[in-house]
Amino acid sequence: MSNKGKAGSLIDFRVAVETARDEIDTSILSLNPEWTGGSIEWFSPIKETGYEEYVDDTFWSGCLQPGAKSFWVGLQKPARFWPKGGPNWDGLAVLTKTDGKKVLLLFEAKAHSYELKSSCGAAYASSLSEIKGRIEQAFREARIDCENDPLKNYYQFSNRFAYISTLRKSIDACCIYLYFANDPYWDLSNDKTDVERWGRAIIHEHNYFGASSSQLRSSSIYELILDLKSESFRELRDSIIGKLTENMVL
C-alpha cells in the first residue's frame, strides 16, 4: 500500500504543523519540564518554504531559500561534523525557553511502525567507517551497551542518536520522534498502527540497542505518540482526511 508523497507521515506532519500547531506545540513543550511556558518557531515543514526538508548544505546554512532567516540565529552554530549525505530532517523548529535560551528541535515523523526499519546506505567505506565510529562513540558516552550492528535494522535511529549526541556538544538540541497513531490512510488496510502497536514497536527498537527510555531521554531523544483518534487531535484527523481526499488516496 504505497502512495509516497500523498499520504502517511509526510502528509500527517505537514497538516499537523499547518492546522494543529497549538496542539502540537503543547504536546512538545510537555516533554520536558524545562520547556514549560516556552515558545516554538517552526522552520519546516511549513507552506512558506514549500514544505522542504533541511539536509546537508541547507542545514548548515540554516536557510531553505536565499535571503530567508536562518534558524541558527541565537544559536552557536558548530563546525560541520558529518559526512556529506547527512540526515534529512522531517521537521525543524527552534524552542525559546522562558529564560530566553534556545533549543534546536529536530524531528522524525512516522505513521507506521515499518518506517522504523532501515539500513545504512553509505556508498563509501570511509563514510561507513566514520559513521559507525561516531555511533559507537555516542553509545559509549551514553553508557548504552549495544551488541547488535548499529548500521542495520534500525540504522536511522542509531544515526540520529549519534548526530544529536555530537551536535549537543556545541548547542542545546534534541531529536523528537513523532509517531502518528491511527493514521486514517493506514486505517484502510489490515495493517494499522494503533497506540498499542506503536508501544510494542518502540520497545522492540530500544531493546535492539540495549537502551532504556531514561538513557534516551538523558541523551535528548524524545518520543511522542499522537493518537489521531483522541479528542485532542480529532480535528487534525479530519484535516488529514481532507488532504488525503484532495490527493485522491481516500
pLDDT of residue 206: 97
- Full-prediction pTM beyond 0.85? yes
b (16+ CB within 10 A) / e for 37-61 = ebebebbbbbeebebebbeeebbbe
What's the whole-number mean pLDDT along residues 39-50?
96
- pLDDT of 2 strictly over 60: no
Whether 248 shows a pLDDT value over 80: the answer reads: yes
Res. 125: pLDDT tops 70:
no
pLDDT tens-digit series, residues 127-148: 788 889 999 999 999 999 999 9
pLDDT value of residue 124: 66
Summarize the confidence of residues 188-212 as an average pLDDT.
93
CA angle 120, 124, 125 (to 5 degrees): 85
Q: What is the mean pLDDT of the chain?
A: 93
221-227 sheet: strands from edge to edge: 39-44, 91-96, 102-110, 173-181, 221-227
Rounded CA gap, 107 and 194, in Å?
A: 20
What Cα–Cα distance (Å) separates residue 119 from each residue in 26, 54, 134? 33, 21, 16
- Which pLDDT score, from 0 to 100, does residue 187 have? 86
User: Which of 175, 153, 170 shows the shortest CA–CA distance to 219?
Assistant: 175
Fill in the amino acid letter for 139: F
Summarised one tens digit per residue, pLDDT across range 105-116 is: 999 999 999 999
